[in-house]
A and B are shown apart, each in its own frame.
Chain A
Amino acid sequence: MEKTDENNIKKNHFLKDDNNKQSISKEHNDYFGYKTPDNFFSESKKEILNSISSIEVNEKKFIAVKPVLKWVAAASVVILIISMSYMFFSDSTFFNNNVISEDISDIDEDNMLLNSFFVDDSELDNFIENYIMEDIIIESELKTDHVIINSLMLTDEEAEQYIDEYLIEALVL
């Protein structure tokens, strides 16, 4: 009779009593019939600790970074690279700065105009004349250098003709 009453209680109250919380092992034993050997968990713990003691774990820096921050950082780096590339290739003066312009008249004209602002009116005529003369002389000297270099590749006859032609050109200019 007692056993039947006890069984009826269990039958109607198979759901464990959450108001009377017990350890998980006791619940499994009382309500569900599961058993473990005596001292199982303490023995099991020792076995596990022995097993892992022989395993070398590489010491790693544990950094828990939110995934969003990683994407933001990656995107920032990409944008930076693209910006720098754009600036590098779109700036035409970058290349031109390293190229020596042989066309001196372009530079000198602007310089002359600028410099003329600092010259007295009475001296202006002389200034312009001197500037132009210098310009012609420098250009013709350069051309002469070219002529000399180029003439090295010509025969003597051709060289004479070549020099004549270029000197005339230089003087006229």
Chain B
Amino acid sequence: MPKTEDRRLIKAILSPKTKDKAFSELLDLYQEKLYWHIRKIVVSHDNANDVLQNTFIRVYKSIGNFKMRSSLNTWLYKIAYNESIRFLQKNKSQFNSISEINNNYPEILSQDVHFNGDEIQKKLHEVISQLTEKQRMIFQMKYFDDLSFRQISELLDVNENTLKSSYYSSVKIIEEKMTS
């Protein structure tokens, strides 16, 4: 979305007369994308739903302080990412660290009632979980969320060339393991 559109939307949200309609428009544009981004971090649908709500509440409260140093899209993804990590840190009763959650991703996923992947799809998730945490995040954001390398660079604070290298390396690993 061009920056002029971002500005228009933010102004409309901050105005009492148009805020409801404008925020509804924001939800239409970003709700689904942010949900899937969150879901891949927190795994289960129920957790993703909670985090999604928290994300948009935080967006609503903070939008007046947004200085447009990045695009609105990047800013929203950043909030969603931070809320997801915050959720995992608060609820890591079963596992000792977020890395451990990543390592047990296929197991947690198969326990979710809102996952009905077949064997191939389960294998895909298993292979992805064998990547390093950073590799997995980059791969998911690029492959699943369709973010550009530039957007991922802003989100994770990683150089674009490093991201490209990591992504294509991950794709190669996954292809090899899936076809073996």
Contact = CB atoms under 8 A, between A and B. Distances in A.
Interface in A4-61: 7, 10-12, 14-16, 23-25, 27-28, 31-37, 40-41, 44-45, 47-49, 51-53, 55, 57-60
Interface string B14-50: 1110011001100110011101100100000100010
Interface string B60-71: 110110011100
A23 B31 CA distance: 13
Contact of A64 (B61, B68, B115): B68
Contacts, number: 113
Contact of B61 (A7, A25, A55, A62): A55
Contact of B115 (A34, A40, A47, A62): A34
Contacts of B53: 44, 47-48, 51
B114 A34 contact: yes
Contacts of B56: 48, 51-52
Interface in A50-104: 51-53, 55, 57-60, 62, 64, 67
B20 A62 contact: no
Size class of B's contact patch? Answer: 35 or more
Secondary structure type dominating chain A contacts: helix
Interface of B: 7, 10-11, 14-16, 19-20, 23-24, 27-28, 31-33, 35-36, 39, 45, 49, 52-53, 56-57, 60-61, 63-64, 67-69, 114-122, 124-125, 143-146, 171, 174-175, 178-179
21 contacts: A10-B118, A11-B178, A24-B145, A25-B36, A28-B39, A31-B121, A33-B116, A33-B122, A34-B36, A34-B115, A35-B116, A36-B114, A44-B31, A44-B49, A44-B52, A44-B53, A49-B27, A51-B56, A58-B64, A62-B64, A67-B69
